[in-house]
Amino acid sequence: MDRKEFMKFSAMGVAGLAMFPTNVFSKETKSTNNKLFPTSLPFSKEGDWKEFKISIGITEQEIAPAMKIHTLAFNDTVPGPEIRVKQGDKVRVIFKNNTDLIHTIHWHGIYVPWRMDGVPYVTQMPVMPGKEFIYEFIAEPYGTHFYHCHWGTLLHMQSGMYGSIIIESDDDPIKKAFPYEREYTLIYSAHDVNFIRNELNAMLERMKERSFLMKNEMFDAERFNLFNTKEELLEAIENGYQPPYLVNRRSSAELPTPNWFTVNGKSYPSTPYLYIKSGENIRIRLINAGTENHHLHLHGHDFWMVCDDGVPLPQPWQRNTVSLSPGKTYDIIIKGNNRGIWTFHDHDTRRVTNNGMYPGGNLLALVYEDLPKEETLVGKMGALPKIALDE
Amino acid sequence: MKNHIILILILFVTTSVKGQVSPEIELGAKGVMSGNFEIKDNNSTSAVSDFSDSQILLGFRQKLYNNWRAQMVFGMQFPDADSDLGQVFYNHVFLKLENQKNIVKVGRSTTQTIINEFSTLRDDDAMQFNYSLNPFSNGVNTQDNQYGNVIEYTHIFKQRVWLTFHGENFADLSAPDNFELNSFGGSLIYIIPESQIWNRNIIQRVGLSYNNYITNRPGGELLKNILGTITLNLKPDPVHFIDLKVQGIYNVGFTSIDSINSYSNYVNIGSFSTFGTIRYVYRKYERPMIQTSLGFGYKTFNNVTESEQIIGIANVFYRIGENFDLGFQYRYLKNNGQSGVLFGQQEHRVQIAMVYTINQIFNNQFDTRNSILNLEHSYLK
């Protein structure tokens, strides 16, 4: 086979393996891409209250083509639906637990009454399987926030129990400083899929037993590892109770080691495009609902960091990399001033991997909609972008 | 040319993907150490230190293309001292292929000579009652009945019903170098997965099996066995759990045999045996803490009267740490008539034991067939 034949053969092979025969600028692609951002949760008006309904269930999530995992999903989506309200709104969220596990919802960054904070056994009793809990609060403060489960937090959050809550202002300071029409919410997370699988199975098994026992009024504090006071715990230990973290009950520290990194529940090549036009400002709401630091870097641009934990910064910071630590939210503004297709990714490149293989993870692309077709051609490689799964 | 940009997945499968796919590694081990004190019918007594049935298993498993999985297992067991099998017996050397609904197994492994699991100290404690016995064996060891060179295919319906077709080469005393299949059969068993056993109101397991041994009798006459079993949850409670297990074996046998004056006659004569246990498990902190069971077995023979065998077993195990049990077992065996002449009329055996079992998976990568996620929330390939 000579070189010409080889090139021809390779081109045929590549074309034959095309997974997404679509146009990155087409309506279809954009429509599909829109689904990769959190959908706004509809509400009903009950007097002064905006009433939302959220349920939790176990679903399958395809985090990358052909890679499915079981997840805990609010309203069957990971991340959960976006709650978008106006500053000062009265918000009511009816939360229904459709799993065999125990959950709560914590409103991260919101000035809720303490009984609405979603911390089990501190602010409320946990929401048991099949039960409902109603959260009510006034939407304060302004900005980008998120919600997540606060029971078994390490497992439940990386299993998918997180979503954005955006509190808007009619007098939005960011919009005034950087007029924009389009905005995107990006929720970052990191997942040890083996940990999720094993711990979900173990938790489901435990809860089946505990539900049975509770139903049959066979509650036992030591069996449930649940005590009314610290003194009660110490007394139980004096009498022979052995806490579940002791080495004779749990030998090794099986802390998760994330091997999948998602944005809005997807890893590259399933991650969304961020569309922009020359001269346009777009606002991006960055949320870290995972356990890892993400050092997010945008190629070919600076951006303006305008909000920190939802709080507008008095002086926006111009930069090209931002370190998004667990629990943080940042809002950034990107100005469309350098036409092209640019990557936006974690510069800790361990997180731009899928199961240890680069590229993957939270690799995104900023795509200029007004990019001429001819500028996307690169010699014999043909049109960009392609999806390369190894290098 | 259309104004389209095509997103392409590039897979240089043969040139760039050279990474080693490391398997899941499963290490299983069981140490059974007991002090046995026996009194036989002539009032002779013996006391031995017994570590038989101790074994170690090493398994390697990985995902294949098209949603199949492969497994390779090596296992060795320490047999009874007088078994003629040497210091170590390789009880498992097999490869297994499986997907959600199908399992193929080839190699040395357990055979379909028992279709339930009974709570005795060692698997062979009631062997003459709860195993279909290998007609090619001289009865010196128990491994001849438990293990063989097998080829098996199983199809699983609705994650609960296991239909198995199997062929075996059992150890043959008269032709030790003959490795042709000398047995075949099939079974249909309904099994509740381990993770959900306590959570079922009545039936935990029910099954039927049919085995044929191709004997070297004139015309290659088949020795046929029919096994039936049922396990009932008497108290399906995760803390105080009680179940009842019963298995019956009807050995069709050969009508020409009318005595059991030899081991060969004993296994080839028509017979019916049954064995059952009632078991109580107390689970503290969501782990077994105490298990106690009572077992009873009975065996009778065609063409031979007043030669029944009876067995009674009582045991208790107390868990002193994760996977480590102290145990006590008493077994009474009564052999009447001709069976008494063959095996001795009666035996009392008291055993005080320590049992340590481990099962550890390294490099864990995928779910098991019977996990709750797979069973209740759809099977992920």
CA A387, CA A363: separation in Å to the nearest integer? 11
Longest dimension (CA), chain A: 82
Q: Give me chain A's average pLDDT, please.
A: 90
Is residue B2 assigned to a domain? no
User: Which band of pLDDT confidence, cut at 50, 70 and 90, is reported for residue B205?
Assistant: very high
Average pLDDT over every residue of A83-103: 97
Contact between A352 and A299 under an 8 Å Cβ cutoff? The reply is no
Q: What is the predicted pLDDT for the residue at A375? A: 80
Distance from CA of A25 to the nearest CA of B (A): 8
Q: What is the CATH number of the domain that holds B291?
A: 2.40.160.10
By C-alpha distance, the chain B residue nearest A384 is: B5
What domain range includes position B314?
Answer: 13-376
| Yes or no, beta carbons of A248 and B322 under 8 Å apart | yes
Q: What is the predicted pLDDT for the residue at A20? A: 35
Hey, what long-range contacts does A66-69 have (CB within 8 A, 24 or more apart)? A67/A260, A67/A267, A67/A354, A67/A355, A68/B380, A68/B381, A69/A191, A69/A193, A69/A196, A69/A197, A69/A260, A69/B380
CA A248, CA A329: separation in Å to the nearest integer? 40
Residue B193 DSSP symbol: -
Is residue B152 assigned to a domain? yes
| Yes or no, beta carbons of A18 and B373 under 8 Å apart | no
Distance from CA of A129 to the nearest CA of B (A): 15
pTM: 0.89
CA A220, CA B293: separation in Å to the nearest integer? 26
User: Which of A207, A73, A85 lies closest to A135, judged by CA?
Assistant: A85
Residue type for position B168: E
* Residue A145 main-chain phi, psi, to 5 deg: -135, 180
A32 touches chain B (CB under 8 A): no
User: Which band of pLDDT confidence, cut at 50, 70 and 90, is reported for residue B4?
Assistant: very low
SS3 of A299-337: CCCCEEEEEECCEEEEEEEEECEEEECCCCEEEEEEECC
Contact between B97 and B104 under an 8 Å Cβ cutoff? The reply is yes
Contact between A47 and A286 under an 8 Å Cβ cutoff? The reply is no
Residue type for position A209: E
Q: What is the predicted pLDDT for the residue at B1? A: 36
Q: Which of B372, B375, B378 to mutate to test the interface with A (most CBs of A within 10 A)?
A: B372
Query: How many contacts (CB atoms, under 8 Å) link A and B?
Result: 115
Q: Is the pLDDT of residue A245 over 80?
A: yes
The bridge status of strand A49-64 relative to strand B240-251 is unpaired
Q: Give me chain B's average pLDDT, please.
A: 91
| Yes or no, beta carbons of B11 and A244 under 8 Å apart | no
The answer for B 286-315 residues in CB contact with A (under 8 A) is: 286
Average pLDDT over every residue of A223-245: 91
Q: What is the predicted pLDDT for the residue at A338? A: 97
| Yes or no, beta carbons of A201 and B16 under 8 Å apart | no
Count the domains in chain B. 1
Q: Which of A25, A72, A197, A368 to mutate to test the interface with B (most CBs of B within 10 A)?
A: A197
Cα dihedral: A27, A29, A33, A35 (round 10): 70
From chain B, the residues in CB contact with A273 under 8 A are none
| Yes or no, beta carbons of B7 and A24 under 8 Å apart | yes
The answer for B 226-265 residues in CB contact with A (under 8 A) is: 237-239
| Yes or no, beta carbons of A18 and B285 under 8 Å apart | no
Q: What is the predicted pLDDT for the residue at A382? A: 65
Higher pLDDT, B43 or B302: B302
Distance from CA of A169 to the nearest CA of B (A): 39
Is residue B221 assigned to a domain? yes
B364 touches chain A (CB under 8 A): yes
Element (H, E) at B224: strand B222-235
> pLDDT (tens digit, 9 = 90+) per residue, A49-73?
999 999 999 999 999 999 999 999 9
Domains of chain A: 44-170 (2.60.40.420), 225-255 (no CATH), 260-381 (2.60.40.420)
Tell me the ipTM for this assembly: 0.86
Tokens, residue A55: 């349920």
A254 touches chain B (CB under 8 A): no
User: Which of B239, B228, B166 lies closest to B198, judged by CA?
Assistant: B239
